[in-house]
Amino acid sequence: MEFSRIFMISCYVLLLCSSLTYGQAASPPAPAAISPTPTPAPAPAPEYVNLGYLLSVAGPFHTFLDYLESTKVLDTFQNQANNTEQGVTIFVPKDNAFKALKKPSLSNLSKDQVKSIILFHALPKYYALADFNDLSAKGPVSTLAGSQYTLNFTDDSGTVHLDSGWSKTKVTSAVLSTAPVAIYQVDEVLLPEAIFGTDIPPTPAPAPASHIIPAADTPSAESKESGSSPKSSPSNSSSHRIMNFGIWSQKVLAVLGGMALFF
């Protein structure tokens, strides 16, 4: 008699404990799935973004910056950036994108053509990444190089693809995206149809998928590795297993407790 009472009490205690742990195990899995993209800390609204400085410390974007300086397009961009009404959106290829240029190279172009190509890398307006969804429906978008220098955009579930005719590339990270200045890193140098003609080369072999390198060492970096956000969500299985074990142990103990009543 004494033994069965102790057994019942201990069963009851175990039951309590197991429902407590079950309650704890059941609650945590929720937050992981809610927002895979971290919300950027609200940076203080910059009065003045020094593009030359920013591009010299991010990237590496030295080749692009050299072209910006030698063509004086840096002044055009900076002027546009200072103009807070419209702002500017700049697509910046990394140094290795310039190294990868072989077939149509920039070395064989006139100064004006090079200038146009560099101007071709910017839109005369600030666009946040979310704006490209609307922009992609609009068809060809004029760049700072003029109305015959257009880019087509497509927003593929958050990844912004650019098509210049010759170059098909995508935004791989946001170096800066705070109105009025957006600077996005792209995989390739944008080569305009207006200079290279409509003799579009066949699409080159796709680059290895693992080649996305976020722009590091950026002071106001709001680094966004596009297209790979869901991958990093933690494994779901362990929390499910804990939950399942919680339910299972609770049931067993409940049965034991019920049996104990008959002693």
Question: Which residues are at the interface with ligand NAG (CB under 6 A)?
Answer: 48, 75, 78-79, 82, 108, 139-140, 150, 152, 163-165, 193, 235-237
In angstroms, give the least distance from the CB of 198 to ligand NAG: 8
Minimum distance of ligand NAG from residue 143's CB (angstroms): 11
Which residues are within 8 A (CB) of 168 and not within 5 positions of it... i.e. 6 or more apart? 161, 162, 188, 203
Separation CA 87–CA 78 (nearest Å) = 9
Nearer of residues 60 and 140 to ligand NAG, judged by Cβ: 140
Residue 19: burial class (beta carbons within 10 Å; 0-12, 13-18, 19+): middle
* Nearest CB to ligand NAG, comparing residues 104 and 227: 104
CA 107/CA 113 separation, integer angstroms: 10
Residue 138 CB, shortest distance to ligand NAG, in Å, is 9
Q: Nearest approach, Cβ of 50 to ligand NAG (angstroms)?
A: 8
When the beta carbons of 4 and 84 are compared against ligand NAG, the nearer one is 84
Alpha carbons 69 and 84: distance in angstroms, whole number: 22
Q: Residues near 90 by Cβ (< 8 Å), separated by ≥ 6?
A: 51, 77, 121, 122, 181, 182, 183, 184
User: Which is nearer to ligand NAG, 23 or 234 (by Cβ)?
Assistant: 234
